[in-house]
Structure 1
Amino acid sequence: MLQAKELIEQAVDAMHRAYAPYSHFKVGAALLAKNGRVYQGCNIENAAYTPSNCAERTAFFKAVSEGVKEFEAICIVGGKDGVLSGFTAPCGVCRQVMREFCDPKEFKIILADGTGHYETFILEELFPMGFGPADLA
């Protein structure tokens, strides 16, 4: 697996491309697929709000649209006006998308702040008792 610091750098790079004219809270994500490729995503806001998309989902949707459906980890960073500030955890909708494609006991979520500090969680810690594809079998 890529080093966490490499994923953090890619997430920060993606954050700088965020389109956040309303909240001014920019988020970047770097999604590591099991094939070693990294998919970047940024949040994309919309004046109507509901059509907005989070950075995490942008990264997942880019990967899935290219036929990739197996993932190891994601790094998420964010902050007001693109200045990293504390941890930016994934919203509930993004956690549900992660659950669709990732093993909750193995998929890693790396949250980084602007001080060089980061923490790694597994999806199950942030989304206990999540509903997934096996629940429909």
Structure 2
Amino acid sequence: MSWLNQKKVDDALAKIEGAIKETQREAIKRSRDCTVTIPKGIDQTLTGNCLVTGNRTIEDVTIYYSYSTTPRNISFDFKGLNTPPGTTLWVSIPNSGVKPKCLAISTGIGLMRTGNYDLGAGECIRP
């Protein structure tokens, strides 16, 4: 059961990262601003104005981020630069013993990295 739950967390993070990268890529390709919306909580759907492959449904996994504003909008301009400050979000299945996974997006150029989320330190650590 633990392996299955870890796979769900890994897949959810891959879907989120894919949606963000697609949004950035489409902003550059279309020469216009593009936004992806990531709601906080369990069983959420990622939406965006430039997701050509469609919305992403994240099931059985909880999405977290440190910002109190929900949902979290991540926007990219025609150069692929992100407009909000850098973002760190993480996904987990509460009370399952699964290690939370995270995605950190840098301010400005929108570089992304994934890793394990350290709940105690509140940071994304590369594996």
For normalisation by structure 1, the TM-score amounts to 0.32
Q: TM-score, normalised by structure 2?
A: 0.34
Structure with greater proportional helix content: 1
